[in-house]
Structure 1
Amino acid sequence: MTLYDWPRASAFGRVIPKNKIYEHAGANAALKDLFVREVDQIVWSHKLAPETINLPATKAVTEIQVFRITQRGKSLSIDALRAIDRAIPFPLLFELAHDGKVKLAAAYKRPSEADSTKWVLGDYFDSEWLKDDAPRVALPVALTMGALYEQLLGPLVEEQTVRLVPGAIAGFGEAPQASFAAAPVVHPLSLEERIAQAEAIKTATREVERIKVRLFREKQFNKRVGINAELRAAREELRRLMGGGDGEVE
């Protein structure tokens, strides 16, 4: 994953007071305490919109906002990101900064089909930490704001999924940072399909690890035989989700 060189015309650079987030997110005392402990500063750094990057809006994505969050420590609770996402009625991309390093984070966000005034927010995906002065790349080529949003989130989904299952990737004879793909389909996967695939891989990976723990703890031979059969089935399902291959998940 690389950092993006946000277009100069999209620069916004507005510091957002935490109390504005509290107000719009309906924050309780616990959430306010979390922000005090973990968040140093919130900057609305860039606004990717038709008038700033010359791409037409779509129904689901009219603008994309980039927020830079300076953390007090290396970790930042997902609850803090969710509160900011709930307070801003646009898809968000976060640059999380701490100790001279930065990483990207985002959750897939779309208008609710039942109520267009509300937003549906998925799970968060993030990149590895990079040096804050690492080279940045231009935005991916896209024809609409919606297509740009998919191209910005797609690599985050893929990178985190590969990072969560390094043993599985190695078992398929691929490098640790190799990409994953679902079983062959007749059309390219949409962002929603890729996220669903990533979540399925995460669940299957956890199931493999859970069964491996059971196998390690079990001493009776006849019970180990049954658990080994479960493990083979779970590995096969994970292998299927990750696109096939002859290797076994270790």
Structure 2
Amino acid sequence: MTLYDWPRASAFGRVIPKNKIYEHAGVNTALKDLFVREVDQIIWSHKLAPETINLPATKSVAEIQVFRITQREKTLSTEALRAIDRAIPFPLLFELSHGGKIKLAAAYKRPSDADSMKWVLGDYFESEWLPEGGRRSALPVALNMGALYEQLISPLVEEQTARLVPGAQTGFAEASQSSFAAPDMQPLSLETKIALAEAIKATTREVNRIKARLSRERQFNKRVAINAELRAAKEELKRLSGDRDGEAE
């Protein structure tokens, strides 16, 4: 995963007071405390829009906003990101900064089918930490804002899933092993990739939960039954990740 060299014309550079997020996102006391503890500063750093990057808007993506968050701690709760996403009525990309390193984070955000004034927000995906002053790449080539948004989000989905299950990134390309496979092996859409990633994440949690049960159980007959559950969960994880030969540990 690389960082992006946001076009100079898109620079916005506005510091956002935390209380503005509180006002627009309906933040409760516990979440305010979380912001105080984990977030040092929020900067609305760039505005990717037709007038700043010369790409036409689409119905679902008129603009993409880039927020830079300086963290007080290495870990930032997704509740904080979700509050900011609720406060801003555009798709967001986050640059998270801490201790001389930086990473990208985002959740796929789209207008609700039932109410176009509301937004549907999925799970968050993050890159690995990268050196703050590292190399940045030009934006992906795209025909419109919607296509650009998909190309910015997709690598995050693939990278995080590949870290969770080795070989899962191959699974995106070889989706014939998955119930999420696209017809005629066409490239998977972003929404399909996200659905596959979320299924892999949920199944990984199930594998770990069963392993924990197995480690606690001492009765032989119950261990046999739990081992059968574990084998089935591992097989499902292999199927989802497209791993024909290896076994998810």
Structure 1 length as normaliser, TM-score? Answer: 0.91
In the TM superposition, what are the counterparts of 1:152-231 in structure 2 within 5 Å?
152-165=152-165, 169=166, 179-181=170-172, 183-184=175-176, 185-186=182-183, 187-231=186-230
In the TM superposition, what are the counterparts of 1:91-102 in structure 2 within 5 Å?
91-102=91-102
Task: Give the gaps of 5 or more residues in structure 1.
Answer: none
Inter-partner Cα distance in structure 2 for 1:233 and 1:79: 33
Distance 1:153 1:132, change over 3 A: same
Segments ≥4 residues shifted beyond 4 Å? none
Inter-partner Cα distance in structure 2 for 1:33 and 1:248: 42
Alignment-mate amino acid for residue 63 of structure 2: E
Query: Residues 50-83 of structure 1, C-alpha deviation per residue, up to 9 Å, x if partnerless?
Result: 1111111110001000000111111112111111
Distance 1:212 1:62, change over 3 A: same
Q: More displaced, 226-235 or 188-197?
A: 226-235
Inter-partner Cα distance in structure 2 for 1:221 and 1:28: 48
Structure 1 vs Structure 2 CA RMSD: 1.6
Task: Give the gaps of 5 or more residues in structure 2.
Answer: 177-181
Alignment-mate amino acid for residue 230 of structure 1: E
Distance 1:179 1:247, change over 3 A: closer
CA apart distance, 1:29? 2.2
- Counting matched residue pairs gives 241
How many percent of aligned residue pairs carry the same amino acid?
A: 78
Query: Residues 204-232 of structure 1, C-alpha deviation per residue, up to 9 Å, x if partnerless?
Result: 11111222222233333333322222222
Q: Give the aligned partner of residue 128 of structure 2.
A: 128
Query: Residues 25-46 of structure 1, C-alpha deviation per residue, up to 9 Å, x if partnerless?
Result: 1222222222222111111100
Inter-partner Cα distance in structure 2 for 1:96 and 1:247: 34
CA apart distance, 1:179? 4.2
CA apart distance, 1:99? 1.2
Question: Contact between 1:2 and 1:136, CA under 8 Å: does it hold in 2?
Answer: yes
- The alignment partner of 1:240 has SS state of helix
CA apart distance, 1:16? 1.0
Question: Contact between 1:9 and 1:53, CA under 8 Å: does it hold in 2?
Answer: yes
